[in-house]
Amino acid sequence: MAKGLLIVLSGPSGVGKGTVCNELRRRLPELVYSVSATTRGPRLGEEHGVNYFFKTREQFLDMIEHDQLLEHAEYVGNYYGTPRDFVEQTIENGKDIILEIEVQGALKVKEKFPEGIFVFLLPPSLDELKGRIQGRGTENQATIDHRMSVAAYEIGLLENYDYAVVNDEIDLACKRIESIVVAEHCKVRSKAKELQIGK
Amino acid sequence: MAKGLLIVLSGPSGVGKGTVCNELRRRLPELVYSVSATTRGPRLGEEHGVNYFFKTREQFLDMIEHDQLLEHAEYVGNYYGTPRDFVEQTIENGKDIILEIEVQGALKVKEKFPEGIFVFLLPPSLDELKGRIQGRGTENQATIDHRMSVAAYEIGLLENYDYAVVNDEIDLACKRIESIVVAEHCKVRSKAKELQIGK
């Protein structure tokens, strides 16, 4: 059986990663979503293994120590990370898995899992991104300026990715990503000889 | 303006290159078809620059000498070849161009134009290919056996290609190739910095 693919969907904050990822999961029900591990407690309605793998701090540190995470980060006193096992088992079962993650996290995943397909979601322009960040209406000017300079820096990291997809319209962005997945499955890899050409 | 792509569609005789290529041109009217140069005389209804670029033997040999062909071959006393200029000008104008060609020719094109996208059209199985070759009803057993052994050899050259597309159903095969074209346009290349991120 052909292996599945890890698709890493990344891009600057505000570009619409979450919206695109949800729409892709709706369109491609067979696509598996990478579930993160976290030390934060479950919120109402959150299920272990669906929303997160809930771990104690000790368990999480143990996972780090045994290289069981493709990346991890600390945020507001809690750990978050991508369990390697879940990704590898899904792929071995011939299913594709998508991981939605910010830019720094994606680059860490690339170090441990270079065979992943790294997709960078781009805003149509920096002005458009600024509009989206301002549109939330929750940030002051200094925060907006800071986020814009982070976004500009992150877009400079684009060359570390395999594909750049402009999120001008969600439908078009999803079609492009779906095409990338189809094309990657047609790619001739070094294991091409395993191809099922029956006699 | 972003450059276009050269898509080289190849595969063993009998696999359905011509049918898939015609269907792709129907679906993607903006896709340019690579016109061959030939020393054979025009047949009724054939137009210069549409079906072929008709050349004298002297003109053709001159094109070979000045490296103006991406590949060429002699067949039943006539020369056939792929003019480099036509491909390069189309690409420079931002349009994609498709070249339908047999396996040996495609590998020659790859030597001179490695930035092309090389797509190998596969039969669902060797039995299926045999059925298609026999189905023409025009070949004797020795010819069929010979063509099958050539096909098996050519499938062994698959690793020189970028993509393998199974021609199980023409609609599916075309969708896969269309996806490959979309994905290739999203690829981050070394010139990623030229990307039109305004501001």
Q: pLDDT tens-digit profile of B87-124? A: 999 999 999 999 999 999 999 999 999 999 999 999 99
Q: What is the mean pLDDT of chain B?
A: 92
Q: Which residue of A has its CA nearest to B165?
A: A186
The domain locations on chain B are: 1-31+96-199, 35-94
pLDDT in tens, A112-149: 999 999 999 999 998 888 888 887 677 788 988 998 99
Does B11 carry a binding-site annotation?
yes
Q: How many CB atoms lie within 10 A of CB A46?
A: 13
**Residue A70 in 3-state DSSP?**
strand
Q: Which residue of A has its CA nearest to B124?
A: A197
Give the CATH H-level superfamily of domain B1-31+96-199: P-loop containing nucleotide triphosphate hydrolases (3.40.50.300)
pLDDT of residue A198: 42
Q: Spell out, as residue ranges, where chain A has pLDDT lower than 50.
A: 191-199
ipTM, two decimals: 0.89
Let me know: does A105 contact A99? Beta carbons within 8 Å: no
Would the CB atoms of B162 and A192 count as touching at under 8 Å?
Answer: no
Residues in B touching A119 (Cβ below 8 Å): 186
Interface of A with B (CB under 8 A): 119-120, 122-127, 155, 158-159, 161-165, 175-176, 178-180, 182-184, 186-188, 190, 192-193, 195, 197-199
Quick one: what percent of chain B has pLDDT higher than 70? 94
Would the CB atoms of A193 and B159 count as touching at under 8 Å?
Answer: yes
Q: Which residue of A has its CA nearest to B128?
A: A199
User: Is the pLDDT reported for residue B56 higher than 90?
Assistant: yes
CATH number at A6-191: 3.40.50.300
The C-alpha atoms of residue B26 and residue A186 are separated, in whole angstroms, by 22
Would the CB atoms of B183 and A178 count as touching at under 8 Å?
Answer: no
pLDDT in tens, B22-49: 999 999 999 999 999 999 999 999 999 9
Q: Which CATH class is domain B35-94?
A: alpha beta
Let me know: does A162 contact A117? Beta carbons within 8 Å: yes
Phi, psi (deg, nearest 5) at residue B121: -90, 120
Quick one: average pLDDT of B127-153?
87
pLDDT in tens, B173-194: 999 999 999 999 999 985 444 4
Quick one: average pLDDT of B67-83?
96
